[in-house]
Amino acid sequence: MFVTLAGILALVGAVAAAYYFAMRPVTLRIAVGPANSDDVRVVQTLSQAFIQARSQIRLRPMQTDGAVASAKALADGKADLAIIRGDLEVPKNAQAVATLRKNVAVLWVPPAANVKGKKAAPKITKIVQLSGHRIGVVGRTQANVDLLKVILQQYGVDPNKVEIVQFPANEASEAIRNQRADAYLAAGPVNSKITADAITASTREGGVPTFLAIDAAGAIAQNHPVYEASEVPAGSFGGSPARPEEEVKTISFSHHVVARKGLPESTVATFTRQLFAIRQTLKTDFPLAAQIETPDTDKDAVLPAHPGAAAYVDGEEKTFLDRYSDFIWWGLMMLSAMGSVGAWFAGYLRKDERGNNSTLRERLLDMIAAARRSDSTEELDQMQMEADDILRDTLRCFEHGAIEEGSLTAFNIALDQFHNAVADRKAVLMSMPQTLQRAGAQFRAAGTL
């Protein structure tokens, strides 16, 4: 009984511990950068929202120098999640959890400045006319330069025949006002303030910038699956007249929230569920949260989705019982096996005690016959004392579980028969003269009766 009880308590403790570890808050490290970027602000907002909502998944932001450094942190196992650019080299152990935002490439040419005594340069209206010119790239990341080269090569423009000038995003407006390039490229969300300020800085003397359409966006997307054909809606960057005045074709790429491949499916599914639940409550006060989208769960996706995120998106997320039903079933089987083993082991430990009690019971049966032949009340009293000892031993065995209730019942029947035999024999001896009792005892002792 005690072995079985110990097994039950151990199983209950194991289930309680498993439930505690399964339901306790899990903190995930997320690599994001650079400092003061929109990505960092989104992650910090999500982290605070998860804490306030007492969510099961918590975030610990790890600030990096940019998407490349974030991807490396994930590849090295220093982070569980990361914010990366889809057009950069994606770590082999990265799987998509969500699309944080879509970025569009914007190419434009500032209006020509009127300089007295100097003939105005030919107006650039197409990408093929960029050969031999200076092109300014907003932002220090090499990824934007690589994006520009992809566009130029699609239109047959040799990147070596253009001068590429990069400058930080916070210096873009000043660089454009100082005419440091003939055309400019910026990459970011359609509502990016950095891009809008750079385009505003291009406006001079009432002139408006000319937006260069990337008509071959479909072909670029086919040759480079990390890019997609997209459009910049008319008036996206404000102004009067609207900038641009009409829709402009371009290419886009995404910033992704990715997870390590080895991260548990249930953990990623829970994080994904929390992410999209919080998004709905944050998008009013934090518009960038509204751009978060579900990942592509197709098997041939460029960036495969993590199984946990795919389970949430496809409505196949497992419940607690789904995840742990096998463990519960095996636990019940182990409990049953432990009960059987415990019962066998307890019986094995009581084997000697049970055998000894069986011998004593046989002794009690022999004493019944001996009591009926006895010619001495002293002998009967001694047998009575021995029967009391046998009774005491039998009750102790029953309490220890060495004998069952059926064996105790059989012993009681034998004990009653013994008491009856003793009582009957004492009655007979009391009715016989003392001399006859002594003679009978002597004859039996001599073996002649």
Sign of CA dihedral 339, 344, 348, 350: positive
The rounded distance, in Å, linking the Cα atoms of 49 and 65 is 24
Whether 225 has a pLDDT exceeding 70, the answer reads yes
Beta partners for 136? 165, 184
Cβ neighbour number for residue 219 with a 10 Å cutoff:
13
The amino acid occupying position 379 is E
pLDDT of residue 404: 74
Range in 159-163, 203-207, 435-439 with the lowest mean pLDDT: 435-439
Tell me the C-alpha to C-alpha distance, in Å, between residue 417 and each of 240, 366, 406, 422.
Answer: 119, 11, 17, 9
The per-residue pLDDT for 4 is 66
| pLDDT attached to residue 117 | 47
- According to the per-residue pLDDT averaged within each range, which of 309-318, 345-354, 424-433 is highest? 309-318
Bridge partners, 60 (sequence order)? 29
User: Residue 201 CA to chain centroid, in angstroms?
Assistant: 48
Confidence of residue 448 (pLDDT cuts 50, 70, 90): very low
> Which pair of structure tokens corresponds to residue 255?
């910033």
| pLDDT one-digit tens code per residue, 170-191 | 888 888 888 889 999 999 988 8
Q: Is the pLDDT of residue 355 over 50?
A: yes
Does residue 133 contact residue 108 with C-beta atoms inside 8 Å? Answer: no
Residue 418 in this model has a pLDDT that exceeds 60: yes
Q: How far apart are CA 50 and CA 57, in angstroms?
A: 7
* Interval 338-365 mean pLDDT: 70
* pLDDT above 90 for 252: yes
pLDDT tens digits for 273-306?
999 988 877 777 677 777 889 998 888 888 999 9
Contact at 8 Å (CB) between 138 and 106? no
Position 302 scores a pLDDT of 87
238 pLDDT higher than 50:
yes
Residue 90 has pLDDT above 50, yes or no: yes
Distance CA 220, CA 230 (A): 11
